[in-house]
């Protein structure tokens, strides 16, 4: 049995990192502010640089329209440096900075747990106008690409993904990595979950930006880990690749490559000392795919799961789930991302049904993830606690993608429960909606092995990232919260029996900084 097939590893990690009232209260972890890791990667080597400029081109596309899945259209075959620059800035770039005692706080384009920004982006470029073929690291601190390899290495990525069609045809590929220590400094062993939470919200921005700028993009979770890590000069313990996003559509055939020389580059230390959390590395190793044959077999496993409704249905505003927003919800994607910020307080006031319907319809469409050969309901189920929505009885619901509707589970006064389930954080109860993503890991692990854990976390976090964007586009607030794992499952049962929580996002009217209409 390959490591990916021994699913005891996922259960061991997932169960060990669950939050409960007891585990939270008994935690003795204290943040060492003198040892906090820097929020970006810095190379010591003198590398060739490509500046990405200061101007952000406008797509002319609203944030909500960038989320809606539209009929396939011919993709641009002119992927340019300007477009790459826009995608990188809108995905993970610094959008604003705040002066604080002792320095400045740099805010990014996408939300990140603890604002610790442990996700790095790399570009494997082959056919990008204005950018020589090569492998580049995106320097967030100065909006610059640094070349770590010269030449066209798309063939390596094609081979490592078992000739995944979107990768094989891509003009460029963005690789997303996590640096464990930058997040584990605060969140310890649970940081492995955050690797996929935070890369997923960034990828949601990437997909929206690619759509707005007229290009093809999808998400690849299946690849030979060692090959991609070696290509980027990372791994296996400190920094590892978590996802790939192929961009554009080449008219030339990419030739798969197996052999290439290693690259060794020195980087600045993240902090005075790093602490290792062995369970993180063990979980990642257990879900690794060792050969392109393993990748091909993994991608083609999986069967659709049933999606049977028993409660009353509340259909969204349009049959396809993509309500047409009024003009005052037409803010451009660029404006929404550049002005976004996770909410710290919500008003206890209702959302309208149009707001709720439009937001869910735009954000909860199927994620273009290679693992979703189980593609009827994707990899996660969406459960909703409706604290206050006009026209919707307070209570719990399950979102049914096949019907583009909310299935009513039961009615209840939910604000106290919403607070408690969200680790007793007031934001959970003050929000109008709490949206939970749950996965049936028993089924997924049986079909896809340990890699299913990575894929399910990505599926949930990308959808949640879309919810962030949809909420901001409508002047609403959103924030990701953590949760008491088993209590959430119990709360949504019997519908959620046997399922595990992957992500929680709370949405409501912000108490501060509401944008003017």
pLDDT, tens digit, 9 for 90 and up, residues 460-505: 999 999 999 999 999 999 999 999 999 999 999 999 999 999 999 9
Q: With respect to residue 281, please indicate whether it lies within any of the assigned structural domains.
A: yes
Same domain, yes or no, for 354 and 288? no
Same domain, yes or no, for 489 and 366? yes
Buried residues in 244-263 as b, exposed as e (16+ CB within 10 A): bbbbbbbeeebebbeeeeee
What 3-state DSSP class applies to 54? coil
Pairing of strands 433-439, 477-480: unpaired
Same domain, yes or no, for 402 and 322? yes
Q: With respect to residue 138, please indicate whether it lies within any of the assigned structural domains.
A: yes
Residue 448 has which token pair? 């896809």
254 alpha-carbon distance from chain centroid: 28
Same domain, yes or no, for 170 and 246? yes
Compare 446 and 378 and report the one with higher pLDDT. 446
Query: Which position has the token pair 């798309």?
Result: 154
What is the mean pLDDT of the segment spanning 26-34?
91
Closest by CA position to 264, among listed 422, 148, 375: 148
Confidence of residue 321 (pLDDT cuts 50, 70, 90): very low
- Does position 122 have pLDDT exceeding 90, yes or no? yes
Residue 363, domain extent: 313-510
Residues 410-422: pLDDT tens digits? 999 999 999 999 9
- Crossing angle of helices 180-187 and 191-212, in 10° steps, is 130
- 112 contacts 201 by C-beta, under 8 angstroms: yes
Query: Which position has the token pair 């959970």?
Result: 428
Share of the chain above pLDDT 90, in %: 72
Contacts of 289 (CB under 8 A, 6+ apart): 4, 222, 223, 224, 225, 295, 298, 451
Contacts of 61 (CB under 8 A, 6+ apart): 211, 212, 213, 332, 333
- Crossing angle of helices 180-187 and 278-286, in 10° steps, is 130
Confidence of residue 365 (pLDDT cuts 50, 70, 90): confident
Q: With respect to residue 305, please indicate whether it lies within any of the assigned structural domains.
A: no
Q: Is the pTM of this model over 0.85?
A: yes
pLDDT of amino acid 229: 97
Q: Which of 121-125, 246-250, 470-474 has the highest mean pLDDT?
A: 121-125
Confidence of residue 105 (pLDDT cuts 50, 70, 90): confident
**φ and ψ at 237, to 5 degrees?**
-110, -40
Q: With respect to residue 5, please indicate whether it lies within any of the assigned structural domains.
A: no
Same domain, yes or no, for 368 and 391? yes
Same domain, yes or no, for 182 and 317? no
What is the mean pLDDT of the segment spanning 323-328?
51
Q: With respect to residue 231, please indicate whether it lies within any of the assigned structural domains.
A: yes
pLDDT of amino acid 309: 63
Same domain, yes or no, for 109 and 246? yes
Counting the structural domains of the chain, the total is 2
Give the whole-angstrom CA distance, residue 150 versus residue 196.
29
pLDDT of amino acid 59: 86
- Does position 72 have pLDDT exceeding 80, yes or no? no
Q: With respect to residue 25, please indicate whether it lies within any of the assigned structural domains.
A: no
Confidence of residue 306 (pLDDT cuts 50, 70, 90): low
Give the whole-angstrom CA distance, residue 322 versus residue 318.
6
Same domain, yes or no, for 186 and 43? yes
CATH of the domain at 448: 3.40.109.10
Same domain, yes or no, for 239 and 363? no
Confidence of residue 74 (pLDDT cuts 50, 70, 90): very low
Instruction: Give the H/E segment covering residue 159.
Output: helix 154-160
Same domain, yes or no, for 287 and 318? no
What is the mean pLDDT of the segment spanning 10-19?
97
Q: DSSP letters along 22-50, please? A: HHHHH------GGGPPPSS--BSS---EE
pLDDT of amino acid 319: 45
Compare 286 and 318 and report the one with higher pLDDT. 286
- CA distance readout (Å), 194 to 85, 187, 200, 311, 429: 26, 9, 9, 33, 23
Residues 147-186: pLDDT tens digits? 999 999 999 999 999 999 999 999 999 999 999 999 999 9
Q: With respect to residue 307, please indicate whether it lies within any of the assigned structural domains.
A: no
Instruction: Give the H/E segment covering residue 2.
Output: none
pLDDT of amino acid 331: 85
Same domain, yes or no, for 282 and 335? no
Q: With respect to residue 516, please indicate whether it lies within any of the assigned structural domains.
A: no
What is the mean pLDDT of the segment spanning 198-216?
93
Same domain, yes or no, for 38 and 133? yes
Residues 421-466: pLDDT tens digits? 999 999 999 999 999 999 999 999 998 999 999 999 999 999 999 9
Give the whole-angstrom CA distance, residue 102 versus residue 118.
21
């Amino acid at each position: 049995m390959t490591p990916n097939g021994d699913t005891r590893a996922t259960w061991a990690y997932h169960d060990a990192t669950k939050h409960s009232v007891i585990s939270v209260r008994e935690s003795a972890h204290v943040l060492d502010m003198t040892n906090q890791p820097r929020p970006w990667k810095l190379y010591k080597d003198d590398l060739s640089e490509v500046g990405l400029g200061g101007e952000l081109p406008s797509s002319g596309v609203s944030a909500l329209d960038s989320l809606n899945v539209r009929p396939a259209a011919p993709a641009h075959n002119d992927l340019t440096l300007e477009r790459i620059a826009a995608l990188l800035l809108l995905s993970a770039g610094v959008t604003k900075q705040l002066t604080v005692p002792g320095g400045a706080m740099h805010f990014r384009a996408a939300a990140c747990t603890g604002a610790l920004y442990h996700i790095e982006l790399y570009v494997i470029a082959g056919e990008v106008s204005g950018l020589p073929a090569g492998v580049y690291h995106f320097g967030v601190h100065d909006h610059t690409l640094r070349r770590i390899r010269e030449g066209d290495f798309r063939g390596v990525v094609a081979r490592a993904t078992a000739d995944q069609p979107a990768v094989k045809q891509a003009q460029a590929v963005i690789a997303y990595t996590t640096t464990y220590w930058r997040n584990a400094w605060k969140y310890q062993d649970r940081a492995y979950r955050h690797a996929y939470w935070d890369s997923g919200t960034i990828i949601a921005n990437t997909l929206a930006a690619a759509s707005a700028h007229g290009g093809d993009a999808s998400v690849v979770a299946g690849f030979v880990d060692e090959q991609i890590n070696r290509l980027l000069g990372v791994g296996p313990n400190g920094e590892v690749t978590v996802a790939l996003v192929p961009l554009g559509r080449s008219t030339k055939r990419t030739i798969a490559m197996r052999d290439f020389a290693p690259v060794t580059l020195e980087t600045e230390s993240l902090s005075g000392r790093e602490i290792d959390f062995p369970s993180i590395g063990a979980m990642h190793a257990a879900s690794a795919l060792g050969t392109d044959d393993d990748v091909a077999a993994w991608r083609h496993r999986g069967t659709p799961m049933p999606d049977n409704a028993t409660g009353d249905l509340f259909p969204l505003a349009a049959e396809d789930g993509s309500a047409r927003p009024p003009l005052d919800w037409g803010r451009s994607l660029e404006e929404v991302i550049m002005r976004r910020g996770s909410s710290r307080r919500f008003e206890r006031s209702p959302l309208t049904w149009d707001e709720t319907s439009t937001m869910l319809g735009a954000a909860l469409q199927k994620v273009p993830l290679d693992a979703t050969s189980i593609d009827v309901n994707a990899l996660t189920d969406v459960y909703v606690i409706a604290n206050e929505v006009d026209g919707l009885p307070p209570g719990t619901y399950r979102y049914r993608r096949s019907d583009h509707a909310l299935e009513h589970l039961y009615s209840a006064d939910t604000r106290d429960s919403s607070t408690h389930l969200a680790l007793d954080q007031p934001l959970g109860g003050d929000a109008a909606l709490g949206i939970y993503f749950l996965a049936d890991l028993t089924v997924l692990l049986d079909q896809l092995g340990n890699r299913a854990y990575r894929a399910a976390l990505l599926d949930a976090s990308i959808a949640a990232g879309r919810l962030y964007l949809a909420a901001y586009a409508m002047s609403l607030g959103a924030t990701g919260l953590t949760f008491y794992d088993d209590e959430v499952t119990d709360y949504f049962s019997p519908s959620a029996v046997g399922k595990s929580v992957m992500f929680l996002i709370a949405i409501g009217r912000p108490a501060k900084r509401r944008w003017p209409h």
